[in-house]
Each structure stands twice: as structure tokens, then as C-alpha cells.
Amino acid sequence: MKEILRTIGLSIGYKGQALFPAIDVTLHEGEHVALIGANGSGKTTLFKTLTGSLKPISGQIELCGKPLESYSPNERAKLFSLVLTEKPDDLFLKVFDIVASGRYPHSGLMARLRDEDYEMIQAKLQVTGVSHLIDRDFVSLSDGEKQKVMIAKALVQDTPIIYMDEPTAFLDYPSKVELMRLIARLAEEEHKTILYSSHDLELLMKHSEKLWVVAKDKPLVAGKPKEVEQNIGDYLKIKNLEIRV
């Protein structure tokens, strides 16, 4: 499989204080990986470092075969996209406006949409199952619908890797399951590499291809759900953890 991201001796943290031992991990095209850990364990710091908004203490991040720092901001916008827990709250934004903004890195100085841009917007709304909402006010949508729209925006940005921060937060259980299945489908059918954080352990054990488990002062553990299951209780400080799959 094509390698999309690699970390080499990556040490992350603040003011020279590393959160955990150096990280050596890879992400390949079409993988979907869940990042789990207790609050304050370093998940957000890792995301910030992988996206270049926070400098590592030491080590290197390679994206598509080149050091992350060698890319310009516009080049980075064509390599990774973000789906965050915060959502736009402008009362006048339509679903089309939100999704179309994902084409900004590709639209040139005049920021004009071309025919192929409109076609991509329609296609990705269809992929995420929200094409019927294209003319709706974004603020009028349910939490699950909003999340799908934000994922459509990330797809329209047309990047090889997508980072998602707690994509199942604030969703009811059926919507969580639906979103987890959508993530797996995007990895398989759209060939996207997806790294996302989550606290939904039972869903992760059922639907994730691979897990990265983190805790302060402990080495990152990576592997298939069953391979890292024994580490989860220790890293999340949960006694007698039982995960039913």
C-alpha cells in the first residue's frame, strides 16, 4: 500500500516537555485509524503536531514522502483536511456554501468555481448521503447531518488524508454507527487515509481497522483492535475493563 504519512522519532509536547516516548508510526492509503486516550493524554497535541500547527520537540513528520515543513500552507491544504468538533454557526450559510468552501485551495486567485468543482460538490454530497440538503440552512440541520456535511467538505477538498476530531461526539447511537460505517466506506471506496479520535470504545472495537492508543508517559501502542485490547484498560485507567464485540 502507498505510504501517506510517517513519523520518525517524533517527540511531541510543550516547552520541551514530551508527553510520551518518541513515535514511529505510518499511515497508508485507504487506512482508517482511531486515536484513543483519556482526556489530557495528548490526542489534541498529536493532531496539532501532525497538521503543522504545533512544532514537534524533535523528530520528523513525512507526508507523501516529503517533510511536512517543506510544504507551503497552500500545498498542505491540498494534502490534508480537517473535520473538527466546532461547526459554523452563521445563520445565512447554506449547505452548498459550507461544502463549496472545501474547493478553496484548488480555485485559484479569483476563487471561482468551475464546472468540475460543481460536479465534485454534487458527487461528495451524494457519497455522504446529504445531497438532498444542499439548499438547506446549515444551522437547521441535526448534529448527524451537520457532521456528514463537514465530511463532504473535507472530501471536496480532495486531500489524501483526513483528520477528524471526535466525529461521533454529540450523536445518538444509531448515528454513531452510521458514521463509523461511513468512515470505513470512505477509506475503502474513496481511498482516503483517515485518522480520527474517539472515546466510543465498543464501536471502535467493532468498526476500526486499527487503533492508536496513547497515555501520558507511555509509548503509543498501534495495532488492530484485538491486538491492543489488553493495553486499553491500563492506558485509560479503567479497572476490570470488559469490551463486548
* pLDDT, greater one: 112 or 187: 187
Q: What pLDDT is recorded for position 88?
A: 85
245: pLDDT strictly greater than 60: no
Q: What pLDDT is recorded for position 8?
A: 98
Residues 6+ apart with CB under 8 A from 219: 20, 21
238: pLDDT strictly greater than 80: no
242: pLDDT strictly greater than 80: no
Write down the mean pLDDT value for the chain.
93
Per-residue three-class SS string for the chain: CCEEEEEEEEECEECCEECCCCECCEEECCCEEEEECCCCCCHHHHHHHHCCCCCCCEEEEEECCEEHHHCCHHHHHCCEEEECCCCCCCCCCEHHHHHHHHHHHHCCCCCCCCHHHHHHHHHHHHHCCCHHHCCCEHHHCCHHHHHHHHHHHHHHCCCCEEEECCCCCCCCHHHHHHHHHHHHHHHHHCCCEEEEECCCHHHHHHHCCEEEECCCCCCCEEECHHHHHHHHHHHCCCCCCCCCC
**pLDDT tens-place string over residues 151-176:** 999 999 999 999 999 999 989 999 99
Nine cell digits for residue 208: 476500526
Torsion of CA 147, 123, 112, 192, to 10 degrees: 60
Q: What pLDDT is recorded for position 89?
A: 81
Domains in the chain, please, with CATH? 1-79+161-245 (3.40.50.300), 86-158 (no CATH)
243: pLDDT strictly greater than 80: no
**pLDDT tens-place string over residues 180-219:** 999 999 999 999 999 999 989 889 988 999 999 999 999 9
pTM of the model: 0.93
Mean pLDDT confidence for 96-104: 95
* pLDDT, greater one: 244 or 6: 6
Q: What pLDDT is recorded for position 96?
A: 97
Residues 6+ apart with CB under 8 A from 7: 23, 24, 25, 26, 50, 59, 60, 61, 62
**pLDDT tens-place string over residues 45-83:** 999 999 999 999 999 999 999 999 999 999 999 999 999
Q: What pLDDT is recorded for position 136?
A: 97
Mean pLDDT confidence for 18-25: 96
Q: How far apart are the first and last CA of the chain?
A: 28
